[in-house]
A = this chain, B = another copy of it.
């Protein structure tokens, strides 16, 4: 018999099409991995289910992280106050050079613990030693779309190794794990390499996940090299004929946006990274007018400090209002649709992003007891501008309770901290120019 869970007496965020609605005094019935009913409280009198009392709490769909480098939490805040080039070349590259697969595993465990505590139930991760990440995802109970990042200079043999990873992990973890192909970017993978990725995507029936047009310089470089934009390079390689997560894409032309809209591609947005590295901001209302799916992302914690989509959601609202000097921009309905359902569209996961019968049971219960979330005059504004990762109480993924009343059900945090700390002693003993010198303090 399928396991049943009954969540009682909460407020529920659900979507009718793109329109968010908040329903008070609801019970949520979960059977197996699926939400089977959302009804007024006390509709289910004699159901034989595990009961979760959610009085006073807000239930929302699990958040979907459309672009991350999860194991980089190992190096959280290792390079503050640096411009992108220095940050990448002086901090990231030297630190990552010493990583072992086991380091990546423990980094993934720490990052997954953080994501679960922050209400993220699904992450599109783009890193290396991805067997380690897949192992951590499988154990944690969360959902993930994993790609093994590959650079053109690593060659076709390396690409083929990543294909073996894809076949090894596709559908594992009761279907929670999906695997796609991960060419790093059109500036670090040449057109032939991208075409090869496209044909592999076709033969495996999968999508891809790639960094695109992060800076104006990358666009200029692409025109210098190929006489066309990075998006056009991708189109011509054939890779956009299959689902594609485009990370960042801050500098597309109108023609690029038309191309993206005409293909099964979506864009991942991590505004905290863009602010902290001073990269500029995307014109998101324009992307949405083109009908392009947009989802939220954390990026890696070395640029964004944390893996917190509540913060990215809030920053998306605030920065778009600022960017357009128009407080009516990125209104709450648009923002909630982007934050919750947008990620499901970007990942081509039609059973995620909503809290309704028939959807997968990935959901989060938020406490509403801090004085900063009282009174609730407007549920949508409260969710976006007041609630946050610190209010996450309980997390359910694929019908399983993986975090309950602030306690992990699948991970041992003390063990993770100890493993991470012990590994950092070795990893940080390299010649970093600044800031890291004071560790451990």
Number of A interface residues in the complex (CB < 8 A): 77
Contact B80 A332 (CB under 8 A): yes
Given that A117-B372, A371-B114 are known contacts, is A377 also in contact with B424, CB under 8 Å in the complex?
Answer: yes
Contact B82 A327 (CB under 8 A): yes
Can you report 21 A-B residue pairs in the complex whose CB atoms are below 8 A from each other?
A: A77-B376, A77-B377, A78-B377, A80-B380, A81-B332, A82-B328, A83-B326, A111-B371, A113-B371, A114-B371, A117-B370, A276-B318, A277-B327, A278-B322, A305-B386, A319-B322, A371-B416, A375-B417, A376-B441, A377-B428, A388-B390
Chain B residues, CB < 8 A from A82: 327-328
* Chain B residue, CB-CB nearest to A272: B318
Quick check: is A44 within 8 A (CB to CB) of the other chain? no
Q: When the two chains form the complex, which single residue of B73, B274, B278, B428 contacts A324, counting CB atoms closer than 8 Å?
A: B278
* Bound-complex Cα distance A76 to B377 (A): 7
* Bound-complex Cα distance A326 to B83 (A): 7
Contact A280 B325 (CB under 8 A): yes
Quick check: is A169 within 8 A (CB to CB) of the other chain? no
* Chain B residue, CB-CB nearest to A280: B325
Interface flags for A376-411 (1: CB within 8 Å of B; 0: not) read 111111100110111100000000000000000000
* Bound-complex Cα distance A275 to B324 (A): 10
* Chain B residue, CB-CB nearest to A329: B278
Chain B residues, CB < 8 A from A420: 374-375
Chain B residues, CB < 8 A from A380: 80
* Bound-complex Cα distance A76 to B276 (A): 28
- Which residues between 30 and 81 of chain A lie within 8 Å of chain B, taking CB atoms? 73-78, 80-81
Minimum C-beta distance from A305 to chain B (A): 4
Chain B residues, CB < 8 A from A307: 372
Chain B residues, CB < 8 A from A125: none
Contact A80 B381 (CB under 8 A): yes
Chain B residues, CB < 8 A from A438: 22, 378-379
* Chain B residue, CB-CB nearest to A423: B375
* Bound-complex Cα distance A303 to B372 (A): 14
State the 8 A-B residue pairs at the shortest beta-carbon distance, nearest first: A390-B390, A77-B381, A305-B385, A114-B371, A275-B318, A113-B371, A80-B381, A278-B327
Chain B residues, CB < 8 A from A372: 114, 117-118, 306-308, 389
- Which residues between 293 and 318 of chain A lie within 8 Å of chain B, taking CB atoms? 305-308, 315, 317-318
Quick check: is A281 within 8 A (CB to CB) of the other chain? yes
Chain B residues, CB < 8 A from A78: 377-378
* Chain B residue, CB-CB nearest to A281: B322
Contact A370 B390 (CB under 8 A): yes
Chain B residues, CB < 8 A from A381: 77, 80, 305, 435
Contact B274 A322 (CB under 8 A): yes
* Chain B residue, CB-CB nearest to A417: B374
* Bound-complex Cα distance A225 to B433 (A): 55
Interface flags for A102-123 (1: CB within 8 Å of B; 0: not) read 0000000011011001100000
- Which residues between 329 and 381 of chain A lie within 8 Å of chain B, taking CB atoms? 329, 331-332, 370-372, 374-381
Quick check: is A263 within 8 A (CB to CB) of the other chain? no
Contact A76 B386 (CB under 8 A): yes
Given that A278-B327, A438-B378 are known contacts, is A306 also in contact with B390, CB under 8 Å in the complex?
Answer: no
* Chain B residue, CB-CB nearest to A11: B441
Chain B residues, CB < 8 A from A81: 327-328, 331-332
Quick check: is A206 within 8 A (CB to CB) of the other chain? no
Quick check: is A202 within 8 A (CB to CB) of the other chain? no
Minimum C-beta distance from A344 to chain B (A): 24
* Bound-complex Cα distance A342 to B439 (A): 27
Minimum C-beta distance from A261 to chain B (A): 26
Contact A114 B370 (CB under 8 A): yes
Minimum C-beta distance from A405 to chain B (A): 14
Quick check: is A284 within 8 A (CB to CB) of the other chain? no
* Bound-complex Cα distance A76 to B325 (A): 22
Given that A81-B332, A280-B325 are known contacts, is A377 also in contact with B117, CB under 8 Å in the complex?
Answer: no
- Which residues between 81 and 95 of chain A lie within 8 Å of chain B, taking CB atoms? 81-84, 87
Contact B76 A424 (CB under 8 A): no
Which of A77, A83, A319, A417 has the most chain B CB atoms inside 10 A of its CB? A77
